[in-house]
Amino acid sequence: MTESFEYSGLLQLIDERSAAFRSAVAAAPSLDAPVPSCPEWTLFDLVQHLGTDQRWWAAIVAAGPAEAPPPKVAAEVPRELEALLAWYAESNELLLAALREAGPERECWVWWGAGVSPANSWGVARRRVHEVLVHTYDAQLAAGAVQPMPVDVAIDGVAEFLDTCNSTPAAWPHEAATIHYHAVEGRSWLLALDGTGAWPAPLTDDAAPASASATGTAEQLLLFVWGRLTMSDLKIEGDPQVFEQLIAWEPEE
């Protein structure tokens, strides 16, 4: 598991990033503004999505160990700006209250059960930090006022994505490969893809050159793995087809 923030720090980041999200929504010209990074979504859709998910994950954490998640409730969401922001703030507080009550080690259902990130409240808190982080970017983009991400949070975001979304025991259906992600701030990660699945791998001085590599700021790398930027936004070396294969891959565990 990649080094990350302490549990209390994750909860603080959820709160801070959610405040930034609300500010971006409030600054937008309209709740009907399109979200360029989420095709076919308006800003209202984005707030509804994130707030509903905060409530759902609050219920998941509160339920504790389970074979399946509780149903996602389709709540009535107000369409007036002030009421919508209040509804989202309440959604976020429900999540934080559940996480505080549970503590970092309570097990719960997670969709990344086979991955590197733990199936507990700490893993949920870490994932929610980066969901809110990236959706804050989406909201800022819709408002036309993108703000830089905190570098340390973006760095952990790249690692968290590899620990969850790019960790699977499903066999890689192509020739074995490795991908090197390098942040100009001085952090790097390696992803190994082979018959055993996809797993973050340790970087060693004597490792063979990666099949492909992507270099950019931590924020650029995070937005790339989340599908907000493309290879043209980064410095790509090696075989770009490996990235194309990874992006298109939908493993079944």
Convert the pLDDT of each residue in 180-232 to its tens digit: 999 999 999 999 999 999 999 988 877 789 999 999 999 999 999 999 999 99
User: Can you give the pLDDT at residue 207?
Assistant: 75
Closest CA to 45 of 89, 84, 86: 84
The tens digit of pLDDT for each residue in 27-43 reads 999 999 999 999 999 99
| 131 vs 78: CA distance, rounded Å | 22
| 239 vs 247: CA distance, rounded Å | 14
For residue 1, pLDDT over 80 is answered with no
Q: Is 215 within 8 Å of 248 (Cβ atoms)?
A: no
For residue 240, pLDDT over 90 is answered with yes
| 148 vs 153: CA distance, rounded Å | 11
The tens digit of pLDDT for each residue in 120-135 reads 999 999 999 999 999 9
Start-to-end Cα distance in the chain:
20
| 179 vs 172: CA distance, rounded Å | 13
For residue 2, pLDDT over 60 is answered with no
- Tell me the mean pLDDT in the region 17-35: 97
23 vs 204 pLDDT, higher one: 23
- Tell me the mean pLDDT in the region 15-28: 98
For residue 175, pLDDT over 70 is answered with yes
Mean pLDDT (the chain, rounded): 95
User: Can you give the pLDDT at residue 76?
Assistant: 87
The tens digit of pLDDT for each residue in 145-172 reads 999 999 999 999 999 999 999 999 999 9
| 239 vs 2: CA distance, rounded Å | 26
Phi-psi region of 226 (alpha: psi -120 to 50; beta: other; left: phi over 0): alpha
User: Can you give the pLDDT at residue 194?
Assistant: 97
Burial label for 245, CB within 10 Å (0-12, 13-18, 19+), is: middle
Contacts of 49 (CB under 8 A, 6+ apart): 41, 135
Q: Is 116 within 8 Å of 163 (Cβ atoms)?
A: yes
Work out the pLDDT band at 3, boundaries 50, 70, 90.
Answer: low
For CA atoms 79, 139, 3, 1, the dihedral sign is: positive
